[in-house]
């Protein structure tokens, strides 16, 4: 992917991603199937070749976000904006054009952030005391808020490459208008005494602990970012990446570590539920999950536990089997 390659060559990602704008409109088409548009928005776009080309350019940026170090935040913000555009302007070609052009402007700016804000070959002495500027889903005001480095340290090695990490805190603003934010970064060794950002996530209403490198059963290296949403619910906000790619150019590829819980939901005994975040053990590939009865208070589950055995299916964490221990009784489910 172009954006991943440009990170490796320390070249401005925006330069490559902007090449799509130089293609003639006829060379592109919207990513969805215009032979069978799914809704009014797609019908409106497909009816206008110039809108279709504009949608295709936006889609190309969306696909290339896999190579952006803070990809999750960008994806979520972009997808939310596109959902609003679809809902509010489905049959208005002029409004769709303005919305897509606005998305392109935002994506170009955010994709170019890496090369213009000192995220390549940052000196370690700076990283220990000063935060790197990271895009925020809270908008322009959040970009100006103060930040402190909570922790910086060595992470370990993978593929013969050294990694470090940094944790940031963004103190609440005086007026209480901005949500609490934190950030977690993983950096790889560049020139002596310097580091390059590999992964960076700036999170709203969440806290992270130091990341971990885990050896998967197949020998691959997994990077775990252990984060949880703030508040009493303690919802899991962990992220995981696998070291993948050819030996000449290996990157962190994001893993799906949440969809397996849908299989767990389908097997839950009647009258039981899970109220808090599930935190798997990624080394043993197990998860021990307290169960609540419908009338249990949030503090005190009384229904028993679910003991899940997990596994990897490509880039997805999957449920292999689960046993429910309801009081003294064990109910296996496979």
pLDDT grade, residue 261 (50/70/90)? very high
pLDDT value for 259: 93
pLDDT in tens, 36-75: 888 889 999 999 999 999 999 898 877 776 666 566 677 7
The torsion angles phi and psi of 27, rounded to 5 degrees, stand at -80, -5
What pLDDT is recorded for position 163? Answer: 96
- 233 DSSP assignment: T
- Greater confidence (250 vs 3) lies with 250
Phi, psi at residue 43, to the nearest 5°? -65, -40
Q: Does 331 score more than 60 pLDDT?
A: no
Retrieve residue 51's tokens. Answer: 């809108």
With contact defined as beta carbons under 8 Å apart, do 226 and 238 qualify? yes
Q: What pLDDT was estimated at residue 67?
A: 61
Bin 231: left if φ > 0, else alpha if -120 < ψ < 50, else beta.
left
Measured CA angle at 27 (ends 26, 31), to 5 deg: 100
Pick from 111-115, 120-124, 228-232: least confident: 111-115
pLDDT at 101: 92
SS3 173: coil
The predicted model scores a pTM of: 0.74
> Are 181 and 204 spatial neighbours (Cβ–Cβ below 8 Å)?
yes
Quote the mean pLDDT of the chain. 81
Q: Does the pLDDT value for residue 30 go beyond 80?
A: no
**Nearest-10 Cα torsion for 96, 99, 100, 104:** 170
């Amino acid at each position: 992917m172009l954006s991943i390659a440009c990170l490796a060559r320390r070249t401005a990602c925006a330069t490559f991603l902007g090449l799509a704008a130089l293609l003639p409109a006829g060379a592109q088409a919207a990513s969805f199937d215009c032979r069978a548009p799914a809704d009014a928005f797609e019908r409106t776009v497909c009816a206008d070749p110039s809108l279709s080309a504009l949608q295709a350019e936006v889609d190309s940026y969306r696909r290339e976000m896999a190579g952006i170090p803070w990809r999750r935040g960008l994806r979520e913000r972009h997808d939310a904006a596109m959902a609003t555009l679809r809902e509010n302007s489905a049959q208005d070609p002029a409004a769709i054009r303005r919305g897509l052009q606005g998305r392109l402007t935002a994506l170009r700016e955010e994709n170019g952030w890496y090369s213009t804000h000192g995220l390549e070959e940052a000196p370690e002495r700076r990283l220990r005391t000063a935060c790197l500027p990271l895009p925020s889903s809270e908008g322009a005001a959040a970009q100006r808020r103060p930040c402190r480095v909570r922790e910086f340290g060595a992470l370990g090695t993978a593929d013969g490459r050294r990694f470090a990490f940094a944790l940031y805190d963004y103190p609440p603003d005086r007026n209480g208008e901005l949500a609490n934010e934190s950030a977690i970064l993983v950096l790889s060794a560049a020139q002596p005494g310097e580091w390059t950002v590999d992964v960076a996530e700036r999170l709203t209403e969440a806290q992270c602990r130091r990341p971990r490198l885990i050896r998967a059963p197949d020998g691959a290296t997994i990077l775990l970012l252990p984060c949880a949403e703030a508040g009493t619910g303690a919802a899991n906000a962990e992220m995981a990446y696998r070291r993948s790619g050819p030996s000449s150019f290996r990157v962190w590829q994001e893993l799906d570590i949440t969809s397996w819980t849908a299989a767990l939901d389908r097997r839950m005994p009647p009258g039981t539920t899970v109220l808090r975040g599930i935190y798997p053990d990624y080394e043993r590939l197990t998860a021990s999950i307290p169960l609540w009865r419908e009338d249990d208070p949030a503090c005190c589950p009384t229904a028993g536990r679910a003991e899940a055995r997990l596994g990897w299916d490509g880039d997805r964490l999957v449920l292999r089997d689960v046993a429910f221990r309801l009081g003294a009784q064990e109910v296996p489910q496979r």
